[in-house]
């Protein structure tokens, strides 16, 4: 138990903080100014991820037979911002990486407010009052702020004050962040290994459906809005690749539920094959002039 507490109270928060710090290392003030310069593109991406994604998740869970605790876990991952891997995948797919970074950063900041509200609503809606965990919105806001926003700001400060160091450390930080992400997801699965098969049967199809439906909708909305191929790619991957580490942190550390973290871990496992498949399709079929842009 003491080891478990050490993992959830020390390793997990520190790992998430470092991952968000690595996001900050890639950011500049210009990334935030881009919202004013390209408001249409940004708001299409932001609305798709912040509003449409949780709505689609709620609609799926309303017709899907799934344990209430797992349903809340699905809503937690749906309420999370994009993960750091969305930026890398967008870059590899020759998408608009600057847009992807901007969406990740700004939605991560806004999630300080939106995530606790969505999670609180989900607990009340899906769980019986007698078994529902108590969630302090104020404490959750502070917890998410401390573990996401503060590290991003520190990363940006380091990049501003020591750009040479940031440029050298950025790639190393990305590798460390990726390793930490894998360790956290593996740890989440192992922690519930006795129940993981049953949980996967329940939450796996729901999370995969959420991922596929959301990516398809993101592509459709971006195309119908007249966005270019690089912007379509960035928005699609941003909506498909969620911050699973944050979802696990909220479930285990802030709410204290091992079960609620499982959908986030499962989603994190399933989102990579779909994103890689999308990446290959984009590279294979996109016109050469779009890939070069």
Report yes or no: 26 and 87 within 8 Å, Cβ to Cβ: yes
Pick the CATH number of 2-292 from 1.10.10.10, 3.40.50.2000, 1.20.1530.20, 3.90.1660.10: 1.20.1530.20
Q: What is the pTM of this model?
A: 0.86
Report yes or no: 19 and 173 within 8 Å, Cβ to Cβ: no
What's the pLDDT score for residue 3?
45
Kindly list the averaged pLDDT for each block of 10 residues, start to end, along the chain of length 293. 53 84 81 77 91 95 91 94 82 84 86 91 87 79 86 90 89 84 80 80 91 95 92 93 89 87 90 90 67 45
DSSP string, the chain: -HHHHHIIIIIHHHHHHHHHHHHHHT--HHHHHHHHHSHHHHHHHHHIIIIIHHHHHHHHHHHS---HHHHHHHHHHHHS-B-HHHHHHHHHTT--HHHHHHHHHHHHHHHHHHHHHHHHHHHHHHS-TTTPPP--HHHHHHHHIIIIIHHHHHHHHHHHH-HHHHHHHHHHHHHHHHHHHHHHHHHHHHHTTTTHHHHHHHHHHHHHHHHHHHHHHHHHHHHHTT--HHHHHHHHHHHHSB-HHHHHHIIIIII--HHHHHHHHHHHHHHHHHHHHHHHHHHHHS-HHHHH-
What's the pLDDT score for residue 292?
43
What's the pLDDT score for residue 291?
46
- Reference 244, options 211, 195, 222; nearest CA is 211
Q: Which two tokens stand for residue 136?
A: 């302090």
Rounded Cα gap, residues 255 and 120, in angstroms = 10
What's the pLDDT score for residue 58?
96
What's the pLDDT score for residue 50?
92
Parse the chain into domains and list their residue ranges. 2-292
User: What b/e sequence results for 243-274 when a residue is b if at least 16 CB atoms lie within 10 Å of its CB, and e otherwise?
Assistant: bbbbbbbbbbbbbebbbbbbbbbbbbbbbeeb
Report yes or no: 264 and 247 within 8 Å, Cβ to Cβ: yes
């Amino acid at each position: 138990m003491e080891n478990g507490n050490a993992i959830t109270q020390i390793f997990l928060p520190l790992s998430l903080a470092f991952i968000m710090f690595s996001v900050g290392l890639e950011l500049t003030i210009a990334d935030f100014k881009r919202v004013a310069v390209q408001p249409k593109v940004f708001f299409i991406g932001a609305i798709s991820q912040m509003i449409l994604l949780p709505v689609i998740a709620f609609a799926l869970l309303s017709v899907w037979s799934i344990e209430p605790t797992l349903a809340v876990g699905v809503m937690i991952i749906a309420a999370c911002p994009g993960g750091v891997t969305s930026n890398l995948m967008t870059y590899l797919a020759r998408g608009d990486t600057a847009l992807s970074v901007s969406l990740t950063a700004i939605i991560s900041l806004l999630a300080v407010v939106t995530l606790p509200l969505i999670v609180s609503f989900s607990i009340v809606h899906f769980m019986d009052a007698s078994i529902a965990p108590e969630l302090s919105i104020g404490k959750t806001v502070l917890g998410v702020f401390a573990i996401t926003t503060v590290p991003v700001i520190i990363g940006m400060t380091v990049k501003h004050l020591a750009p040479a160091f940031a440029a050298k450390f950025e790639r190393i930080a990305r590798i460390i962040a990726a390793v930490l992400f894998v360790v956290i997801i593996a740890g989440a699965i192992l922690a519930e290994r006795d129940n993981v098969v049953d949980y996967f049967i329940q939450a796996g199809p729901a999370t995969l459906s959420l991922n596929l439906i959301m990516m398809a909708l993101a592509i459709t909305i971006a195309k119908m809005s007249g966005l270019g191929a690089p912007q379509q790619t960035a928005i699609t991957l941003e909506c498909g690749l969620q911050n699973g580490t944050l979802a696990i942190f909220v479930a285990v550390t802030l709410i204290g539920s091992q079960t609620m973290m499982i959908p986030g871990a499962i989603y994190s496992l399933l989102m990579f094959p779909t994103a890689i498949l999308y990446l290959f399709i984009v590279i294979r079929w996109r016109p050469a002039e779009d890939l070069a842009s």
